[in-house]
Each structure stands twice: as C-alpha cells, then as structure tokens.
Structure 1
Amino acid sequence: MSEKNKPMNFNDLEQWLNERHVTEVECLVPDLTGVARGKILPRAKFTEDRGMRLPQAIVAMGVTGEFPQSGPYYDVIDPTDKDMQLRPDPSSVRIVPWATDPTAQVIHDCFDNEGNMVPFAPRSVLRRVLGLFAAQGLQPIVAPELEFYLTARNTDPNMLPRPPIGRSGRAETSRQAYSIDAVNEFDPLFEEIYDFSDKMELNVDTLIHEVGAGQMEINFFHNVPLGLADEVFFFKRTVRESALRHDMYATFMAKPISGEPGSAMHVHQSLLDVASGKNVFSNEDGTPSAMFMHYIGGLQRYIPAAMVLVAPYVNSYRRLSRNTAAPINIEWGYDNRTVGIRSPISTPAARRVENRVIGADANPYVAMAMTLACGYLGIMNKIEPKAEMKGDAYLCAYALPRSLAEALDWLRKETDLHEVLGKEFVTVYSEIKELEFDEFMKVISPWEREHLLLHV
C-alpha cells in the first residue's frame, strides 16, 4: 500500500471505509504460527468499539491449536485466561477482494489491561526490535522473496502431494526453473492473485517458477519491515484463497514433497541512517562499511541459535539438509547462492545482505525480528565475520541445528537473543515448540513401519 493511501489514524480509517462502502470488518491478529485469529464485526460495531478483546493465549497456541498444560508458559501468560485488548493499526487496512459484500481486513496490535504491548505477540516482537534500531538512528529496509508450492487438491493427509493439472491438462513431472511456459500453465490463477494483490495494494514484484515441480516464487518491493511482514501475512492468505478457487492447494510448508527442493523466504536487508537517508552498509567511497561487516558477523554468530524462530516445525529441518538447494551453514559471500548469508551484486547505495536460511513456513513477523536482532547484536558488539566463502558452501560442514529439539536447546542457551527479543517471548515460543515436538513424537511415520517393523 503506497504511503499516500495509508490511513494513519482512526479518522483516516473511517474515511477509507466510507469511500469503499465497507459493511463488515475482519479484525485480525497474527498468532505465533502466522494464522489469522480474530473476529468479524459489522462496520458499526467496529467503529463503535475501535478494537476488541481476546484471551491472551489466542496468539500463543501451537499449530494444532493446543496449549501447554503447565510450566514456564504460565509464568508469562496468566493461567486465569485473562483478556488482552486489540487495537487496530489503521495503516494495515486492506479490502478483502474475494468477499461477496464490501469487507475490510485490519491487523490489530495486542495490549494488556495496563496498556502495555503484549510481549509475546509476533507483531510486538518485531516492533521491539525495530525500536532498538530507532534508538540508534537506524531504519531497517527489507525485501522478502517467498517460495511456495501449488499442489492438486487432496483431502487425505496420508496421500502424497502432487503437482496440479495446468491448462495443458497435464501435471509437471520435471523441474522447470525459470520456465515462462510452466508459469503460463497456471495463468488464470496468477491473474487472479495479481488482481487480488492489486486491490489489496500489496507491493508484489516478480513472479518466477522455482526449481521444484509446481514451485513458485514471488518477490516483494523493498520497504520497512513491519509493513512488509503485514504484506507477507496478507499474501499467504490471498494465495491460499485463490488456489482453492481454482481447485488446487497452495502450501508454504518448508518441505512438502520428498525429492523436491524446499521452500524458503529469503529476506534482503539493509540499514538507512534516519538523518541522512543513506545506506550505512556503504562508505562514502562506495566500499563496504564496518557496520556492514559487523551486521554479517552478527548473523553468523547468532543465526544458529535463532534457527527455531525461522525453522519452526519438525518439517522445517527436512529442507535444511545437504543436496536440497538450501543452506546448511552460515558462511557468507558476494553473489554466492550456496551460502546462508549472501550479498548480491548491487550499487553501493543498494548494498544489502540476504538471509537465505529462513523457511517459507516461518511467521513473517518473527522472521523479520530474528534476522534484524542477529544483525543488531553484531553491530552493537562489533562482531567481525569469518572470511568470505568464495567456493561451494554446500560442501562445508553443517553449522545449523539438525532438528527442532536441538534448535530449541540452542535458543534457550543464547541469552543475548533473549534480551533483544524479550524473555517473555522466548519463553512462550519455546514452550509452544516443545509442545508441538512432543505431539509429533506420538506419531509413527511410514519410514519407521517400513524399515523397523519386521527388521529389528
């Protein structure tokens, strides 16, 4: 949404709703998994209340909808199930283009009864990290690249996903990286996605066919992190809705199909000096600045311990394995797609860092907060990076956790990240992921039945 069209206060928001004859408002709050929670209100009720109440735990549940039964989770979240106040962010309002009646969707921020921002809500965590940069006179700028798969509609979770049927009447059976014709197979779907994105004023840029069969990627124009996290949140919802309307599914699972590459959310990031508007990653003579190197150093130092924030599920670690076109370490290099931290070819004014370890399954608010927090710690602690990797980083040793359980352990031990992200957030997030891991361990996989049932 362009700045000139953004409602900045409640009066602007009311005018925006009036101009579009909105009769209903979807009041949304992203939970830890990135799911849209909230209520649908008649326009008059929304205008009257200017917010709503929901239980605190609604933004802090597992992907299965479960909550911990006991433990440190309830040292943060009141066990009496208290309400939180949700206040609409006027700048986040978008039309719901697929709704029958004129309907708007507005993202809300979460506050407690004393007016303090709820520290474990995803949007709150990103706001906290951005506040640390603002205190240093810095404005982060980001640009996400989001990969996803289209699959045939399938209501049985025991059946393997497969590519959908395109206009030709055939499904993809081979990899079609950057193929225009392969994208054109789904022209009706993508025309609708672009139409919906335009009506929602999402700043989507390039669409490409990625490596996997039925795998696509959409790029976003660079902008401020909170606004772009909102756009990724809205875009995921839009793609899923559009796919259903065309009798297929869209999935942002990190590794939905065996033998095919996983899906990532690469995030390009740079820092502007607020006073001058200049990119602080470059010196006046165009060379890389010390802050650029320290930012990379921070990513290298802290990403391994922060991985559970951007590889949030058991499935996420299937993507982060050798020979899957995904990084397995945090080497860095210029124009090197095998590393976890890449600096693309650019002008000095556009010098940036690309974090390539983030999965498409990550909550966009948490993902932005994670990568910026790591870079922030690098700057504040003046951490020097390792030497640039000029070869194939896929051949190097693993430097990232190999499982959800291991990643959780690494995060719990890295107290520097607790200070930047907030101890309450780390506690709630860790407890939720522990719960999800315990639930997963109750399920016996086909691999176990095939290889262990009669052989051990």
Structure 2
Amino acid sequence: MTLIAPLDKAPQSEATQFLDTYPDVQAIDIILSDLHGIGRGKIIRRHELESLFTSGRGMPASLFAQDVSGHDVDAAIEAIDDGGGDSRCWPVPNTLGYQTATGRGLVLLQMEMPDGTPTPYDPRNALMRQVARARALGLTPMGALELEFYLVDKERDADGKPQPARAPMTGRRLSGTNCMSVDELDEMAPFFDAVYEGAAALDLPMESLISEYAVGQFELTLRYRDLAGAADDLVRSKRLLRSTARRFGMEACFMSKPFAQSSGSGMHLHLSLADESGANIFADPSEGMLEPRMLSAIGGIRDSMADSMLLLAPVLNSWRRFAGTVYSPAANTWGAEDRNVALRIPSGAAKTRHFEHRVAGVDANPYLVAALVLGAALDGMEAGTAPGAEGAAGEAEYPPMPGGWLEAIDRFEASETMKSILGAPLHRVLSAVKRGEYNALAVEVTDLEWQLYGTTI
C-alpha cells in the first residue's frame, strides 16, 4: 500500500508572530526546493505573508521539470503534463524566520496538487512519504546532515580561475590545508560570527565548525533531530551561508569537487529510528552487540546502493569527487568507526547508536538523499536483509557500482526500487531531467578539448 500523507501546513499563528516580532521587515523570501535543491520562488511583501499561510501561493509544477540552469527539459514537461497551470504551495512548519544578512524573512514551501494531495514531483513530499511509512510502523526517523563547503573570493585570479577567499580579520588569502586549524577559524571569525547570528535568528541549530581538508574548505554540523526537520535545516543553512558570504566579498561554493587537486565536499547523513516512547531502536541490545534491525537497515541500503547513485552524485561534477576515494567512499561497504566505508557506525554511547551514510556530495538534494536512505533502510528492516560482510570483503556480494554519471542515470531509470521509494511520477521526471542534462553537456566542446586536440591532433 502506498501511503499518501497530507501536507503538514504551518498555522497562521506563525505568520502573525513573525510580523509582531519584526515590525520593520518589509519582504519575505518564499522558497520551493526543486529537484536539484535549488531555491525557486518569489520575494513577497509584508502584507502578503498572512495570506500565504491562509490561502497558499500559486507556482507551476513545471519548476520540477527544469535542469540546474532553470531551463525546461521537454521530456520532463511531457511527463508532468499538467497544462502549465499553477499548483498551490504552502509554508513548511517552523521554517519562517528572519535573515540577518538580508533584512528579509524566509520561509520554505511545499507543493500541493489541485485535489489537495501532495504534489508527487516535490522532493520534500517524497521524503514525507517515507516518514509517513515509518510512522505507520510506530517509528520516528531521526537524523542530522553534515555540510562541507568552500569559501572562494568573488574575484577570480589572474588566469580567470576561482581562488580562495581572504580572511575577514587579517585580509590574508587562505593558503595551506590547515585541517582543523583553530587559528584559521579565528581569522574567519567575523564571517562565522555573522553566520551563527543568522542561524540564531532563523532558529537554525548550527553546532560545530571546523576547517576541513583543503584550502578554504569548512564543515558545519547541525543538531540531531527529526529527519524532515534536519533536511529543512540543511536547505536553510545553504541559503544562510550564501547570503552571508556575499556580504563579505566571498561566495559559498557547494560543488562536490570545485578544485581537481583538493578534497571534495560531502553531505553525510546520520540516521536512527525512535519508537513511540522516544527510545532509539538501534541502541545496542547488549555490550559488544549491534542491534539486528540496524544491521537490516544497512543491508537494505546496500541492496539498492548501485541504483541510488544518481541521487547521491546527481551532476557531472559529482563524479570527480570519487576520483580520490580517501574519505569519499565510492564503494558499497560498511563498517564500525571507519571513515573509508560508505556506511559507517560511529563509536559512542550504546543508547545513541546510529549509522552514517557517507556517499552523498554536498551538491545532492537533501530531501532526496533523506528519502532514499530512510526508504531503503525500511525496506531492509521489513525484509530482514543481512548487511553482508564488512569492509572491502563484502563488495563482491553486490552489483558493481556505476562507473560514471551516464551509467548512474541508466541504473536509476531502470530501478524498480528507486521508483518505489520516490514514487513513479517523481522517478520518471527526475530520470528525464538528468538524461536531458547529460545530453546537453555531451554535445558541448570544452576549453580543455581545444587545448588537447584543437591544433595538435
């Protein structure tokens, strides 16, 4: 049976409270995340906010048939086949907040069909289908997403290439790997102080900050909470980082692999399930023993790993991250306290036991990643799937992973498991959009091709 959970709509009281708290705010960004996690929407005026909460706002479902540049993909438009009319969008509960960087409000949206059911093409609705599936079993999905990103100067270097940002405190251009350097974080303090100030205003639970394994690369962690809220947090965090960076003469870069010789940026997802009393069902049943249901969840994810790679590495650049596999696992592996596997079980207190899915790049859509991981985990638990052998020894038990973007598109398009987890309409449209993106890039002649072949071959 397919569960169709009605939209959980934010109450009008959220709008009233916001307007009372921020009497000087004159505009609000209303944001719908498309298939790629890119924000599409409008900036509305103050007097329009309450009607957004009471009556919704019209936007076309064809937004989900666009490529990353915002162009319609013909095959995806045909798959949606809604005549191009507007569907109704509603605010996501607990996402309305004040943006300190812009002076405007911000609220996330979710889309509804004319008959009142959730739009099947909306990635957030795909996640909520899997959340409803878990809740029907008496379980609440809990999770957190980690966010890796680069800060680059808004000005290019003498060769026209991106370059590391300058530290706001010292004016020094960032250099050297400086992994986990506290001094580098101190030099960047004016920027990150502004980020944390913005997070507080948005009620966004940002926690630890580190300098990562490359020049200008950083990581922010977000508090563990209900999985849908965690995905909303990731979407809002990217918007906060972007808007704040612009005001410091920088750009926040969320490409998976922006620099060929530097480490890639991931978006690791931590997941557990709570029962009706709030207890973690993945908690160790006894010392030195892992919970069988968690192992079955890992087994379900491994069963569908090869089919799911398009969701985890959605664009051409995503696949460059796997060229250097240190801490960027591209193999179907699992293990305890091993950062080179795809599915890692961190150490820690037995009652907080969970697993970490480490494959997704930061360019992936957090709603689709969360829907995939939760859906595959539930599949494994329902079937009692074995997790297979740990480490590299277990790879041969599963189909080989896709070797590149086109193969990932082919596998995803043919996958009944992906169709089941995402729903057939979203699976069909996403397949069409990604194949359209591939075809558009395949015919482009690059500068590197001219350099290698133009006058020499």
Deviation at 1:121, TM superposition (A): 0.7
Which of residues 76, 80, 85 in structure 2 aligns to 1:76? Answer: 80
SS of the counterpart of 2:309? helix
Quote the offset at 1:112 in angstroms: 1.4
State the Cα deviation string for residues 6-45 of structure 1 (Å, max 9, x = none): x962234323332322433322211112122122222322
TM-aligned CA deviation for residue 196 of structure 1: 0.8
Shift of 1:283: 4.7
Quote how far apart the aligned CAs of 1:95 are. 1.2
Name the amino acid aligned to 1:59.
Answer: F
Aligned in 2, Cα 1:439/1:154: closer, same or farther, shift over 3 Å?
farther
Q: Does residue 1:385 correspond to 2:387, yes or no?
A: yes
In structure 2, the partner of 1:428 is 429
- Aligned residue identity for 1:373: G
Task: Return closer, same or farther for 1:195/1:15 CA change in 2, 3 Å cut-off.
Answer: closer
Cα gap change, 1:253/1:351 in structure 2, threshold over 3 Å: closer, same or farther?
same
SS at match of 2:115: coil
1:236 alignment partner, SS class: helix
Query: 1:150 and 2:189 equivalent?
Result: no
Which residue, out of 204, 212, 215, partners 2:217? 215
Report the equivalent of 1:3. Answer: none
Q: Distance in 1 between matches of 2:271 and 2:93?
A: 25
Q: Distance in 2 between matches of 1:398 and 1:377?
A: 18
Q: Deviations over 1:371-410 (max 9, x none)?
A: 11221221122211121228999xx999432322111111
In the aligned structure 1, how far is the partner of 2:400 from the partner of 2:182? Answer: 36
Q: Matched residues in 2 for 1:423 and 1:73: separation?
A: 15
Q: Residue in 1 aligned with 2:62?
A: 57
User: SS of 2:305's equivalent?
Assistant: helix
Unpaired runs of 5+ in structure 1?
Answer: 1-6
Deviation of residue 279 (structure 1)?
1.2
Distance 1:309 1:216, change over 3 A: same
Matching residue of 1:351: 353
1-structure distance, mates of 2:81, 2:188: 45
Deviations 1:179-232 (A, max 9, x none): 111222211111111111111111011000000111000001100111111111
CA distance in 2: counterparts of 1:390 and 1:59, whole angstroms: 38
Pairwise CA RMSD: 2.4
Does structure 2 conserve the Cα–Cα contact (< 8 Å) formed by 1:87 and 1:109?
yes
Q: CA–CA distance in 1 between the matches of 2:329 and 2:400?
A: 10
Structure 2 letter corresponding to 1:130: V
Distance 1:397 1:140, change over 3 A: closer
Which of residues 311, 327, 335 is equivalent to 1:333?
Answer: 335
Tell me which residue corresponds to 1:446. Answer: 447
Which secondary structure state, in structure 1, belongs to the residue aligned with residue 252 of structure 2? strand
Matched residue of 2:231: which SS? helix
Q: Corresponding residue for 1:301?
A: 303
Deviation at 1:159, TM superposition (A): 2.9
Tell me whether 43-52 or 336-345 shows the greater mean CA deviation. Answer: 43-52
Distance 1:374 1:159 in 2: 43
Residue 4 of structure 1 is matched in structure 2 by none
Count how many residue pairs are aligned between Structure 1 and Structure 2.
443
| Residue of structure 1 equivalent to 2:197 | 195
Q: How does 1:31-430 map onto structure 2 within 5 Å?
A: 31-49=34-52, 50=54, 51-69=56-74, 71=75, 73-78=77-82, 80-100=83-103, 103-154=104-155, 159-166=160-167, 167-273=169-275, 275-286=276-287, 287-389=289-391, 399-430=400-431
**2:274 touches 2:281 (CA, 8 Å); kept in 1?**
yes
Distance in 2 separating the partners of 1:214 and 1:389:
31
Question: Larger deviation: 396-405 or 170-179?
Answer: 396-405
Q: So what's the TM-score if we normalise by structure 1? A: 0.91
Q: In the TM superposition, what is the alpha-carbon distance from 1:130 to its structure 2 partner?
A: 0.8
Q: CA deviation at 1:142?
A: 0.7
The runs of 5 or more residues in structure 2 that have no matched partner are 1-8
On the 8 A contact 1:73/1:427 being kept in 2, the answer is no
Query: CA shift at 1:72, angstroms?
Result: 5.9
Indicate conservation of the 8 Å contact 1:37/1:59, yes or no: no
Aligned-pair CA distance for 1:443 = 2.1
The aligned counterpart of 2:6 is none
In structure 2, what is the equivalent of residue 29 of structure 1? 32
Cα offset, 1:370, TM superposition: 1.6
Deviation at 1:90, TM superposition (A): 3.5
> Which of 146-155 and 161-170 deviates more?
161-170
Report if the CA contact (8 A) 1:13-1:90 is conserved.
Answer: no
Q: 2:3 is matched with which residue?
A: none
CA shift, 1:311, in A, is 1.0
